[in-house]
Every structure is written in structure tokens, then in C-alpha cells.
Amino acid sequence: MTFMKKTLTASIAVAAASTMAVSTAHAEISDNEVRIGYLADMSGTYRDLAGPGGEAAMEMAIADFGGSVNGSPIVIFSADDRNSADVGANTVREWIDQRNVDMVGGLVASSVSIAVTKVLEENNGLGIVSGSAASSVTNEHCTPNHIHWVYDTYPLANGTAKAVVEQGGDSWFLLTADYAFGHALEADVTKVVEANGGEIVGGVRHPFPTSDFSSYILQAQGSGAKIVGLANAGADTVNAITTASQFGLTQSGQQLAGLLIFLNDVHALGLESTQGLLLTTGWYWNMDEESREWSERYFEEVGRMPTMVQAGIYSSTMHYLKAVEAAGTDDPEVVRAQMADMPIEDFFARNGSIREDGRMIHDMYLAQVKTPEESTGEWDLYEILSTIPADEAYRPLSDSQCKLVQN
Amino acid sequence: MTMIFGVPLAVFMGQLTLGLVNGAFYALLSLGLAVIFGLLKIVNFAHGAQYMLGAFAALLGFRYLGINYWLALFLVPLVVGSFGMLIERFLLRRIAHLDHLYGLLLTFGLALIFEGTLVNFFGVSGARYATPEALQGGLNLGFMFLPTYRAWVLVAALAMCLFTWFMIERTRLGAYLRAGTENSQLMQAFGVNVPLLITLTYGFGVALAAFAGVLAAPLYPVSPTMGSSLLIVVFAVVVIGGMGSILGAILTGLGMGVIEGLTKVYYPEASNTVIFLVMILVLMLRPAGLFGKEA
């Protein structure tokens, strides 16, 4: 060969060899960093149940884990999805294309989660949905690229609605938020109420979000139903409850059933107007010693007691990082499988495990809001009445429409 | 039971009543905006935030200074209005000679600053403001139970609207203002301090927004974002009524409240958008607005 050709061949050979060496050394953790994206409503209706507090929980998990996995630092990106499916999906697309994000967490409004998980499926990413409620996230909208962590509308209906019907509340009027979450909750509650001998006598769907509930409360009063079920969340629920008390809803003999109530809602409304409300929760800060310990640490950082979603974000991030460490890589498919292989038993989840449809099942709890006399502190708000075991709380796989389930 | 298009009469009447209450509210808010735009040609995008500041001032005044509701109704508009006057004197006046767009951008920026600062300190969950004792409870109207407080809002808002309309259309001060905005040089030649008049008028418009904010505090959770969703509706009302018309803003506000209320009965999912549909229709058929004068 000529000199030029020899040098060229040699340089190509060296280049190829070094690329191979480089790629083998970095095949474990992509970009030598574990990148997590936190996507949630940071300024709107659902800010206080996850929001910046959820990001703080994620940071706590990363710090407690040591800040790095097998020598690769852990990095967070965060963004405000404004409860918009478009904004959420585009943000995640950008994160995947430009920042090689390995896992997307947070995910609050159900419409956002459904859109984002589709993007993750197209790009073979991994997501952990902690804030959303719609059970459709692991039903018709399931994907192999996400896990649903904290709770969903199925145990909410099974817990709260069932308990209310058993107490005599057999005629219902449903006030529903008009989007994916509200529809899912409405459907699940209707099934449970009817299965337990009750009846849905009427309902109305309100735009999401709404601040003026006066005309809907009026319709609820006119329906004659014993129970007015609130199939909405966050600021919507707070507004609805406030308006209901202004219009004397409970004075005229009807009862409110809050189908999705968070700790921060009860705190904002006060025990006067929420006492006696039945609710289903995935976790409560004061339910036992372990939870209390973690919550007190969280309170030091953030200044408010954590909601179940914020605790779930910590728990899921920790589990994810443990899985990355055990698998030795941040490849989404491998980590997903590793996460499913490991049971979850921490301060947040009891008897926790991840099913083939991506649903993380764990014990749920029926709780009741304390009366002002029973409460011993600003955040001492719930009484846990009973436990709904993990294998009973969630939609059984035999009923599932998820494409990943062999039915 | 008498039915109106499938809805019982009692429910229909109830929604109509609520619609009027909401409409009075829209009227009050769009009045402030109409005064500012109609007379000063400033597109005040900070109006929603100023309404929110009124509600917050009432809340914080109660929490930290013990100022009760009735005192707040009087004090808060004065305080927030004065703040508005400062904004006009030191910020808006500097860009008064420029295109309207700059006023819009400036006030929009101010709104974002106010909201963002308060979100930082208070979150968005919203705080409760107790209904004053004298206005608690309700009136049984037969077809519905109307909270006394909402009846009060209807009365107070309409009274304030009437007062404003009277001031602008029937008093000498109002005449000066109207003349001053048409031909300020001539008015100044007559010895009228037109710049001061403009500052006072902007302050008055802001005070109207703050007054609406105090009225709203016991109704809706007081949250930094309470003004932003309302603002766009109020602008739509002003556009429908006609940008320069005071009476138009009042009547349109009431009308839109009623239309929105009725939509909530028959097709609630559209209640957020019906006012904009009306706006589109009006703009297509009568671009100057229902009561507007063709420019």
C-alpha cells in the first residue's frame, strides 16, 4: 500500500478501536449521568399536592441515596406542565431528544400522564406516574414504559364509595371534572355504587378547572340525592366544598363524599368544614412510626407535612435508583424489569409489588377526617379506620383491558 | 312541575338568579376596564391582578391588622387605587405617547410580577376569608336557598356601577375627564390639570377592581391566580359591550352572567367558552361592540 493509504487505514483502525473502547466503558450508565426529569403542575390547580414539594421529595431521595449511582452523578431537570397534555408531551420530547433523560417522574394531571407515557412508549423511555389518579393509566392506556405508583381511581371508588353506600348513602349525584381523571373516577364510582345496591340519580360535568361551583351545587341540591360525590381534585374540590357550605348543602340533609382528597386540601379547608369526611388514601404521614420519622425530616426541609403523592415520589425515586444500581445500567427496559423484580417495602408502601400492567399495588387505607376536638396539632388531620390489602384494592388483572396482560 | 326545555322551573330560576349575581360581578370588573380603556386608551392587563390584590389586601389586613370586612370595603380600594396611581404616574405615563401595545405589555408584565411574587409566598391553594357575620346565612326564595352574601354582592356591585356611571356621565368632573381625553391640550389651556386627572382616573379604575376583589374574598378561595382566569372573560365582556361604553360594560356584564348561568344548566361543559362564542359573533356582526360607537 502507499503511505497515504497505510496511514489512513491505520487511523481508521485506531479510531474504530478507541470508539469501541469508549462505548464499552460507558455502556452501563448513558452519558455517565443518571438523568431524571420531574414534570408536574408547579403553579395551578394541583400545585400543592405534588408541585415543588414533590421535587423536594425527589431531591431528598437522591441525597439519601448518596447523590450518585456506581460513580455516575444523578441529575434532575424540572418543568411546569401547567396541567396541559401538549406542554407535558412536548417537554418530555425535548428532554428525550436533547437531554437524554433516563426517567420521567412526578406526572400529576391524568391527561398529561396519558400523553407523556405515549411519548415514552414511542421513544423507549421510562416514566413513573405518581400524581395521576385515572385508573385508565394502567388499563386501556398501559404501556411497557411506565409504572403507576401511588394510587388510582379504582381503590378510591372501592374504598370511599363502598364505605359510604354501606353507611346508608344509596342515592348519589356526581359532580365530575370534565377530563380524563374525572371520567375515570365517575366510571369507577358508578360501578361500585351500583354493585353495592346504590343508584346514581344524576350528575354534572364541570370544566377543569372551575372556581365558581354555585350553579353545580344548586343542581346537586335540586337532585334530591342523599350523597353529593365530588369526582374532582385539588383546588376544584376545595372550591366545591366551600361553596357547598355557603349554600347550606349539609344543613338540608345531604352529605358530601370527597372521592379524592389530599392532606393539603383538608389543611386549607380546616377541620370545621371537613370533619367526618371519609376518604381513601395510599399513605398518611402519621400512620406509624416509620412514616412519622420520614415526614418529620420532610417537614424540616419543606415546612409542610407531605401528601401521599410527595411521599410516593420519594419512594419511587429511591426504588428506581436501587434498581439502576442493581442492574448496573440506566437502560429503561432493563431497569423496568429490575424494578418489577424487587418488592417494595418502605415507609410509604406495605406489601408493594409491580404488576405486569405497570400498576404498583400496595396496601391502601380508609380514613376519616378528625373533628377539631380530636385533633392534637396543625397537621393531625386523619384517623385511619381500616386497611384495604394490596391484592384487593386495585382492579384485578382479569378485568383489565391492558394490552400487556394475557387475558 | 313546570319544565323549561327539560329543566324544572325551580332549577331554572335558581340558575338565573346566580347568573345575575355573577353578571353583576362581571359588570363591576368590566366597568373598571372600560373606564381605563375607554377614557385613557390604556389596555390594562393588570386588571385581574389588581382585583386579586384587593382580595389579598382584605385577607392580610384581617390577618395582621384586624381590619374587618366593612372597613376593608372602604380602605382596600383606596390603598390599591393609590398604588395604581403610582403605577400610572411613574410607569404608564412614560409610554403614553407610544402604541397601545406597550401599555398592554407593561401591564401584563406587572400582572405576572404580582402573581408570581404572591405564589412564591402563599402557594396556589388559596386561603379562606370568613363571610362577615351580618351577611351569613341565606334567604329561602322558595325555588332556591340564596346565600345572603351573594344577594349583597348583587346589590353592592350594581350600586357601585350606578355610582360610576353617574360620576362619569352626569357630573362636571366626569365631563372634564371625557373632554380631557378627547382634546387634552385644549383642556389644559382652560386650566384643567389633565395629567392629574388621568392618574386619578386610572387609580379609580384600579380601585373598582380592588373593590370587586374585596367582594370576592368571602366567595372564592383567595389565591394569587384568582384574577388571571377571570381577566380574559372580563376582556371578552368589554369587547362585546363596546370598548368605550360605560353603560355597555354594565349591561353586557349582566347579560353575559345570565347567559353563562343558563349554559351551566343546559350544557355545563361549554360554560367556560360560551362568552367567547358570543364575542366572536358580535365581532363578526357588529365589530364596534353592542353599545360601542364606530371609531
Position A156: which residue type? L
What's the pLDDT band for A9 if we cut at 50, 70, 90?
Answer: low
Percent of chain A with pLDDT over 70: 93
Task: Among A3-7, A383-387, B239-243, name the most confident range.
Answer: A383-387
Q: Provide mean pLDDT across the span A363-372.
A: 93
Q: Provide mean pLDDT across the span A70-75.
A: 93
User: Which residues of B fall below an 8 Å CB-CB distance to A?
Assistant: 8, 10-11, 14-15, 18-19, 21-22, 119, 123-128, 131, 138, 144-145, 147, 149-150, 219-221, 223, 225-226, 229-230, 261, 264-265, 268-269, 271-272
Residue A2 forms part of a structural domain: no
- Is residue A27's pLDDT more than 80? no
**Does A238 contact B125 at a Cβ distance shorter than 8 Å?**
yes
- What is the predicted pLDDT for the residue at A25? 41
Query: Which grid cell sits at B128?
Result: 379562606
Report domain extents, chain B.
11-226
Q: A132 CA to chain B: closest CA distance, Å?
A: 18
A263 with A344, same domain: the answer is: no
Q: Read off the CATH number of the domain in which A193 is found.
A: 3.40.50.2300
- What is the predicted pLDDT for the residue at B191? 84
From B202, B277, B272, B288, select the one nearest B239 (Cα to Cα).
B288
Structural domain containing residue A50: 33-151+287-361
| Chain A partners within 8 Å of B14 (Cβ) | 215, 218, 222
Residue B137, number of CB atoms within 10 A of its CB: 14
Residue A216 forms part of a structural domain: yes
Residue A10 forms part of a structural domain: no
What's the pLDDT band for A183 if we cut at 50, 70, 90?
Answer: very high
Query: Which grid cell sits at A140?
Result: 386501556
A246 with A374, same domain: the answer is: yes
Residue A407 forms part of a structural domain: no
- What is the predicted pLDDT for the residue at B92? 92
The answer to whether B204 and B35 have CB atoms below 8 angstroms apart is: yes
What's the pLDDT band for A262 if we cut at 50, 70, 90?
Answer: very high
Residue A11 forms part of a structural domain: no
Distance, in Å, from the CA atom of A138 to the CA atom of A124, rounded to the nearest integer, reads 17
A339 with A318, same domain: the answer is: yes
Q: Mean pLDDT score of chain A, rounded to an integer?
A: 90
**Does A239 contact B150 at a Cβ distance shorter than 8 Å?**
no
A344 DSSP β-pair partners? A352
Residue B27: CA atoms inside 13 Å, Cβ hemisphere, count? 30
Q: What ranges make up the beta strands (E) of chain B?
A: 3-4, 7-8, 138-140, 145-147
- What is the predicted pLDDT for the residue at B79? 96
- What is the predicted pLDDT for the residue at A2? 67
- What is the predicted pLDDT for the residue at B86? 96
A248 with A379, same domain: the answer is: yes
Establish if A248 touches chain B: CB-CB under 8 angstroms: yes
Q: Which residue has the higher pLDDT, A27 or A189?
A: A189
What's the pLDDT band for A15 if we cut at 50, 70, 90?
Answer: low
- What is the predicted pLDDT for the residue at B1? 56
Distance, in Å, from the CA atom of B4 to the CA atom of A207, rounded to the nearest integer, reads 24
pTM for this entry: 0.78
What crossing angle do the helices spanning B148-170 and B172-182 adopt, rounded to 10°? 70
Distance, in Å, from the CA atom of A230 to the CA atom of A227, rounded to the nearest integer, reads 10
Q: Provide mean pLDDT across the span A403-407.
A: 85
A77 with A217, same domain: the answer is: no
Establish if A246 touches chain B: CB-CB under 8 angstroms: yes
Q: What is the DSSP letter of B268?
A: G
Domains identified in chain A, total number: 2
A41 with A85, same domain: the answer is: yes
Percent helix, strand and coil across chain B, each to the nearest 5 = 75, 5, 20
Q: Which residue has the higher pLDDT, A317 or A218?
A: A317
Establish if A47 touches chain B: CB-CB under 8 angstroms: yes
- Is residue A11's pLDDT more than 80? no
A336 with A383, same domain: the answer is: no
Render each residue's pLDDT in chain B as its tens digit; 295 residues: 567 777 778 778 888 888 998 899 899 999 999 888 877 888 899 999 999 999 999 999 998 999 999 999 999 999 999 999 999 999 999 998 888 899 999 999 999 999 999 988 887 767 778 888 888 888 888 777 888 999 999 999 999 999 998 988 899 888 888 887 777 788 888 888 888 888 999 999 999 999 999 999 998 888 888 898 889 999 999 999 987 788 889 999 999 999 998 888 888 888 889 999 999 999 999 988 888 765 4
- What is the predicted pLDDT for the residue at B221? 80
The answer to whether B261 and B22 have CB atoms below 8 angstroms apart is: yes
- What is the predicted pLDDT for the residue at A136? 94
- Is residue A406's pLDDT more than 90? no
Establish if A136 touches chain B: CB-CB under 8 angstroms: no
End-to-end CA distance of chain A: 65
